[in-house]
Every structure is written in structure tokens, then in C-alpha cells.
Amino acid sequence: MKRYTQKEIDNFIENLDFSKIEGGIVPIIAQDYKTNEILMLAFANEEAVRQSLKTGIACYYSRSRQKLWKKGEESGHIQEIQQVFVDCYKDTVLFKVKQKVAACHTGYYSCFHREYVNGEFVTRGNRIFDPDKVYKK
């Protein structure tokens, strides 16, 4: 798990460009640190980025609920951050993570488990957990 000091976090935040998307958020891609499989894309405001780098566990910002979203808080399916990358414009972040159980709330390892083939969305991979058993109603 990769944690950063307060000084390192301040410097990271200063360098990030939060201005491109309304509300001051940046996209973050979570990628499996071993296989490079893409797990999900979410957004983070400054507070969520700070939280992620401080704890070493991915934290995002939920646009629908308009609050911090500690990924895995309910399910336990946390993402332990191994490496942090930025893109050339420093307006997008990449977390290479160790994913506990699965990333997708539907039970699949990756949120990108549907491929568009011959006009249909075809499911790839297997359901790892049953959402009804993991998430309270």
C-alpha cells in the first residue's frame, strides 16, 4: 500500500488541474497493478485525492450523492493503491491498485465487463460475488 506524506500530498494537489470539469473534479482510472486490467473510472475532488494519498486506499467523489465515496466502505472491496500516475496535462490520475474481491457493484471484477459486439453488449468474465448478499437494501 502506497501512502504519501502531507507535504507530498500538498505538492501533488498543487500540480493537479481540477479546472477542466465543472465542480472541480478529476477523472481517476483504477487499474489492476498486476494484470493491467482496467477496473473502473471514477471522479475525485481535492478532498478525495488527499484522502486516497493519505490512507493508501482509493477514495472518490460521488457525483450522484455529492459526497466523498470511500470505495469498498460497505462491501469491503477496497482498492489498495500501489502506484500513482498522472497524464501529460495533469488533469487525469491513474491508480494502480490491488483490488479486494471485485471492483464492480454488479459483482464483476471490472466495471468494463461488457463488450459491444454485433450490436449487442456481451458480458465478459464471471460474476465473482452476489450484490444482494453484499449490499444492504
Binding residues (CB under 8 A) for a copy of itself: these are 4-5, 7-8, 11-12, 15, 20-22, 27, 29, 31, 35-38, 40-41, 63, 83-89, 92, 94, 104-106, 108, 111-116, 118-119, 121, 124
Q: How far is the CB of 110 from a copy of itself (least distance, A)?
A: 8
Alpha-carbon distance values, 109 to 57, 98, 123 (Å): 17, 12, 12
Q: How far is the CB of 124 from a copy of itself (least distance, A)?
A: 8
Q: Looking at beta carbons only, is 71 or 113 nearer to a copy of itself?
A: 113
Neighbours of 55 (CB within 10 A): 16
Q: Looking at beta carbons only, is 55 or 92 nearer to a copy of itself?
A: 92
Residue 11 CA to residue 16 CA, distance in Å, equals 9
Q: How far is the CB of 64 from a copy of itself (least distance, A)?
A: 9
Q: How far is the CB of 113 from a copy of itself (least distance, A)?
A: 7
Q: Looking at beta carbons only, is 75 or 92 nearer to a copy of itself?
A: 92
Q: Which residues contact 109 (CB under 8 A, 6 or more apart)?
A: 37, 39, 99, 102, 103, 125, 128
What the block records as the C-alpha cell of 67 is: 459526497
The owner of cell 460475488 is: 129
